[in-house]
């Protein structure tokens, strides 16, 4: 009997992954990863800052334990707090300092869940590891899940095929509704538990308050990029992303205002009127930190520039220094720091981090 170590998070998806694998005849054990110290955070100087909110991570562990006990599955627990700080949270802070919009969940998968977790599972005698991600592996390659609305291949796009070699995704061929139905049939404590949203280490905290523990707020001017008029004051460039409309706290115009750029040196946040203003659109970008799971270079494929964005046709031009110029037709909201994920149909062939956004063969000066 093959042994599978399942990454259990205390959510409904990993709970149902346990059930499906058990029913398929595997010897199943669970492993809960503690990646963040929920009660005590350290600020940028290493000083502890006590959080008074609910320790959701401990509640997640209790839920995972309840599910495993009910299913007769042994549950292990491992602490990756230091490693998460070193490989994920430090990256997150560094990107914010540069004024970019990072995706820490992608890095968590790359360095924690499908690296350190795999090594820990191997110590427990695992033949395979499994998670509750909505994705598929077909012939050793990563594919989108059946439930496209829940598909998480975007967040797995920085993994190599080697990392996915002995990985199972039990939810790849079922819908979220079916997952809920199975959890209710087994009367699991997680059956109606809300899906986690946002950045994993922030949880239910106020993002701005949380971030101020680590990066000082540097207020500056909000400027209309068309008129150069100062419209208000921002609380710090790190709190804004391209295309953002809410939370600007400025008014006085008939059209809605959207964030279109940042000047890190002058500490200026640029905005423009209307959701279809020209500053929100680009026709190419350069990506680095490339992971490509293909045997030979391809010239055309599809790309997704944000998790919820649509796939768009792109042309790839391979540059020096392991960078790729991605060309497309007038796409909105392509943002430095985000992940550009490449697809050949439903197959995820890899990704890169957006380094530079361009229009008409020139870098957009108002984007970092």
The distance from CA 294 to its chain's CA centroid, rounded to whole angstroms, is: 23
Evaluate whether 127 touches 166 at the Cβ level (below 8 Å). yes
Catalytic-labelled residue, pool 55, 68, 200, 285: 200
Q: Could you tell me if 235 and 339 lie in one domain?
A: no
Domain boundary among 234, 251, 273: 273
Residue 137 lies in a domain: yes
Q: Could you tell me if 268 and 314 lie in one domain?
A: no
Q: Could you tell me if 50 and 162 lie in one domain?
A: yes
Q: Could you tell me if 247 and 194 lie in one domain?
A: no
pTM: 0.92
Q: Which residues contact 229 (CB under 8 A, 6 or more apart)?
A: 223
Domain that holds residue 44: 3-207
Residue 110 lies in a domain: yes
- CATH number of 345's domain: 2.40.30.10
Q: Could you tell me if 28 and 168 lie in one domain?
A: yes
Catalytic-labelled residue, pool 68, 108, 301, 340: 108
Residue 95 lies in a domain: yes
Q: Which residues contact 347 (CB under 8 A, 6 or more apart)?
A: 138, 141, 142, 143, 144
pLDDT at residue number 51: 42
Q: Could you tell me if 143 and 246 lie in one domain?
A: no
pLDDT at residue number 196: 74
Residue 17 lies in a domain: yes
Give the chain's domain count: 3
How would you write the pLDDT of the chain (368 residues) with one tens digit per residue?
999 999 999 999 999 999 999 999 999 999 999 988 765 454 444 444 444 444 677 889 999 999 999 999 999 999 999 999 999 999 999 999 999 999 999 999 999 999 999 999 999 999 999 999 999 999 999 999 999 999 999 999 999 999 999 999 999 999 999 999 999 999 999 999 988 765 665 555 567 788 888 999 999 999 999 999 999 999 999 999 999 999 898 866 667 999 999 999 999 999 999 999 999 999 999 999 999 999 999 999 999 999 999 999 999 999 999 999 999 999 999 999 999 999 999 999 999 999 999 999 999 999 98
- How far is the CA of 152 from the CAs of 83, 88, 364, in angstroms? 23, 18, 30
What is the C-alpha to C-alpha distance for residues 341 and 291, in angstroms, rounded to an integer?
10
For helices 12-23 and 176-185, angle between their N-to-C axes, nearest 10 degrees: 70
Instruction: Tell me if residue 301 is catalytic.
Output: no
Domain boundary among 245, 273, 301: 273
pLDDT at residue number 146: 97
Residue 212 lies in a domain: no
- CATH number of 254's domain: 2.30.30.280
Q: Residue 223: beta bridge partners?
A: 230, 270
Return the C-alpha torsion angle 99, 105, 110, 111, nearest 10: 80
Q: Could you tell me if 67 and 107 lie in one domain?
A: yes
What is the 3 state secondary structure string of the chain? CCEEEEECCCCHHHHHHHHHHHHCCCEEEEEEEECCCCCEEECCCCCEEECCCCCHHHHHHHHHHHHHHHHCCEEEEEECHHHHHHHHHHHHHHHHHCCCCCCHHHHHHHHHHHHHHHHHHHHCCCCEEECCCCCEEECCEEECCCCCCCCCHHHHCCCCCCCCCCEECCCCCCCHHHHHHHHHHCCCCCCCCCCCCCCCCCCCCCHHHHHCCCCCCCCEEEEECCCCCEEEEECCHHHCCCCCCCCCCCCCCCCCEEEEEEECCCCEEEEEECCCCHHHEEEEEEEEEEEECCCCCCCEEEEECCCCCCCEEEEEEECCCCCEEEEEEEEECCCCCCEEEEEECCEEEEEEEEEEEEECCEECCCCC
Q: Could you tell me if 187 and 252 lie in one domain?
A: no
Q: Could you tell me if 172 and 256 lie in one domain?
A: no
Instruction: Tell me if residue 200 is catalytic.
Output: yes
Q: Could you tell me if 113 and 186 lie in one domain?
A: yes
Q: Could you tell me if 284 and 340 lie in one domain?
A: yes
Range 362-365 contact pairs with CB under 8 angstroms and sequence separation of 24 or more: 364/261, 364/279, 364/282, 365/261
Q: Could you tell me if 130 and 84 lie in one domain?
A: yes
Domain boundary among 226, 248, 273: 273
pLDDT at residue number 52: 40
- CATH number of 140's domain: 3.40.50.620
Residue 368 lies in a domain: no
């Amino acid at each position: 009997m093959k042994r599978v170590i399942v990454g259990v998070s205390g959510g409904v998806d990993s709970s149902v992954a346990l059930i499906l694998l058990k029913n398929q005849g595997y010897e199943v054990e669970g492993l809960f990863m503690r990646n963040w110290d929920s009660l005590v955070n350290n600020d940028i100087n290493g000083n502890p800052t006590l959080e008074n909110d609910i320790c959701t991570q401990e509640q997640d562990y209790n839920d995972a334990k309840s599910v495993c006990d009910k299913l007769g599955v042994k549950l292990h627990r491992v602490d990756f707090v230091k490693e998460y700080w070193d490989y994920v949270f430090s990256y997150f802070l560094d990107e914010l300092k540069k004024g970019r919009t990072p995706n820490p969940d992608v890095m968590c998968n790359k360095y924690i869940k499908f690296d350190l977790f795999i090594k820990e599972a191997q110590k427990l005698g695992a033949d395979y590891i499994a998670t509750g991600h909505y994705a598929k592996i077909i012939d050793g390659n990563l594919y989108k899940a059946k439930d496209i609305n829940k598909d998480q291949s975007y967040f797995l796009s920085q993994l190599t095929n080697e990392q996915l070699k002995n990985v199972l995704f039990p939810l790849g061929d079922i819908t979220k509704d079916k997952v809920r139905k199975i959890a209710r049939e087994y009367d699991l404590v997680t059956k109606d538990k809300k899906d986690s949203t946002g950045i994993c280490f922030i949880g239910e905290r106020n993002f701005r308050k949380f971030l101020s523990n680590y990066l000082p707020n540097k207020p500056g001017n909000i400027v209309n990029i068309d008129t150069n008029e100062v419209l208000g004051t921002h609380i710090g460039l790190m709190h804004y992303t391209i295309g953002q409309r809410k939370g600007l706290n400025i008014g006085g115009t008939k059209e809605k205002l959207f964030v279109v750029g940042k000047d890190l040196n002058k500490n200026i946040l640029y905005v423009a009127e209307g959701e279809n203003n020209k500053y929100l659109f680009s026709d190419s970008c350069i990506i680095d930190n490339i992971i490509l799971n293909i045997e030979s270079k391809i010239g055309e494929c599809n790309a997704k520039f944000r998790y919820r964005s649509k796939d768009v046709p792109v042309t790839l031009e391979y540059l020096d220094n392991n960078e790729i110029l991605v060309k497309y037709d007038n796409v909105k909201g392509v943002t430095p720091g985000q992940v550009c994920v490449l697809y050949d149909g439903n197959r995820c062939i890899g990704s890169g981090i957006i380094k530079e956004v361009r229009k008409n063969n020139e870098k957009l000066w108002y984007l970092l």
